[in-house]
Each structure stands twice: as structure tokens, then as C-alpha cells.
Amino acid sequence: MLSVRANSHSVNFFWKGSAKAVPEAIEEIKVRYEAVAKFWAPYVEIKNPLLVIVGNLNEFEWSCEEKHKWFGPGWSQPDCLQVEKAGRTDGTMAGQSQIDTKNIDQYLVDSRARLDTVMFMPRIEHEYMHNVFHAMAKNYHDAMPCWMMESGAEYWGVVSSSGNNFDRFIALRNHQIQKGSPAMDNVPVSTWYDYLVRTDLHVLPGVRGQGDHCLSVRSEIYSHAILANEYLASKVGLKGYLELVKSAGIEGWPKAVEKSLKMTVKELYQEMAAYMKFHYELVMANPFAHRSLPRN
């Protein structure tokens, strides 16, 4: 959090709003992209052009059309609407996709104020983190454990969006952990270990959906595993974390862990499980930390 931000960045941004998009929301999203790009500039270079599109509520069809236009006729995602609408009962959306040569981030919001809700506080930074992962390993969807891919984006999104405001960091971190699924109250360390194995999909293959290799565990990989990423960051640091992603893309996750941490995946998950259990119980015993956060 206290890392010095760069004064500039080299990301090639493109911007597009729908006819119904709120101009003030687009401007705020631009400001936050500039900030997060400067946060990551000292550590990673994002070479692909990045299109950021912003629409209003429920403009899922427009969002999918823009994605197909950006990636070109050789790219297809027949289940685009299904994926983007999944769980979006309020009509909002935040998502991203990358191919070898182009990236896109997509948002559907109805107001500038929406971006100050607890859902969207770290959301721009979360989606940007997927572009960081892609820059480190273009095959990151296959190379990284599912728990690391999504809750890693969530963890670093919370870190990079908090600036040097530690109270904000703790509030966002704890809120995400407390609202997570499945409930992990009073479970042994072995249950936390099983959670990491189940949401890895390298150790225990799951049902993989079109365009979403983590479909079978998606509901479980945004919350509790923030603590797993926090543990990794404490062990290897920010640069070491990125190198772990890069190494996983080249050698696979088990070898990357052995190379970076000098232990097996099983040994890592056993240590990580104990850390997660301790901090989860600490967070659950102190619910006050996020009461000041605006609701969705």
C-alpha cells in the first residue's frame, strides 16, 4: 500500500461509452484507471491496447457487441450474455477479457455515486489486475489456481485502491471476508486446506465451462481466499507474487511454488490454511471494521 506510485504509465487506453452512459461515471473510472496504472507501472508493462467501455444498467447486449467488435471476426463467445448477466440482479456489471493482442474491461453503472459503493470501491482495480496477470502470463486462466486468479485480483484491488489509507484497506478486506461463501465458522484447519485444494482445480479437476475454467467453484473464490493471497504476499512480496504468476505460466503452478517458496503445493496449502483460519476468525470476531462502508 505504501509503495511509491510512478508519475506516469505506458498503458495504451481506449475509451467508449454507450449512448446511455453517465459522463460523470466515465470520468471517475478514467481517474481510477490512471491511478491504478501508475501503481503497477514500476512492476509490470501492459503492452496490449486496453479498451474500457462503460454503459448503463442492463446494457449487456451492447457490452457483448462491443467486445466482439474489439476482438474482431476471428473471436467468438456464444455464451457472452449468459456470463455477463450471471448474478447481476441489479443490472450492473464489471468484467474483462484478454486475447493475445488486445484487452477489454467492461462496466455497466447508472451513476457516479454507484462507484463509491462497497461493490465498486475496489472494482476498477480488481478488473485491472486481470490485465496485470495477463501481462505476466497470457495463459494465466490455466496457469493460476482459481482461488488465486479471482481473490488475487480482489486482494490487490483492495490494496491498490486504498492508497495509504489503512483503515479503508482493513474495512474493504474484512467486509469481503465476512460476506464470503461458504461459511467457515468453527471449522478445523483441514477444512481450510480442503477449500484450497477444491478451488485450485490443478490438484482436483473440476467441471470447466466455456470461457470460464473456474465455473464449478466461481461462487467461492472472491472472498475467503483474499487471505491466501495476503499470505503469499507476506511470504514473497509484491514482486515475488508477480514472478510466481509468470513462473506458473511457464512451468505450471506446482513447479512455480517449489521454485519460489521451496516447498510443495501441499506444504504451502497446509501453512496457508492455518493462516486463513486464524485471520478469518479474527475478522469474524470484529465485525465493526466495515460498518462505515457505504452499502451497494
Question: Are 150 and 141 spatial neighbours (Cβ–Cβ below 8 Å)?
Answer: no
CA-atom Rg of the chain in angstroms? 18
Cell numbers representing residue 91 in the block: 443490472
Quickly state the pLDDT bin for 208 (edges 50, 70, 90).
very low
Q: At residue 42, does pLDDT exceed 90?
A: yes
Coil/strand/helix, residue 109 = coil
The percent of residues in the chain predicted with pLDDT above 70, rounded, is: 92
The percent of residues in the chain predicted with pLDDT above 90, rounded, is: 73
Q: At residue 250, does pLDDT exceed 90?
A: yes
Higher pLDDT, 165 or 187: 187
Please name which of 285, 251, 249, 236 lies closest in space to residue 98, comparing C-alpha atoms: 249
Q: What is the pLDDT of residues 101-127, one digit of tens each?
A: 999 999 999 999 999 998 899 999 999
* Residue whose C-alpha cell reads 475454467 in the numeric block: 213
Cβ neighbours of residue 124 under 8 Å, at least 6 residues apart?
29, 32, 33, 36, 94, 105, 107, 115, 157, 161
Q: At residue 296, does pLDDT exceed 80?
A: no
Question: How far apart are alpha carbons 247 and 232 in whole angstroms?
Answer: 14
Q: What is the DSSP letter of 294?
A: P
The model's pTM: 0.94
Coil/strand/helix, residue 212 = strand
Mean pLDDT of the chain: 91
Cell numbers representing residue 135 in the block: 501481462
The pLDDT assigned to 260 comes to 96
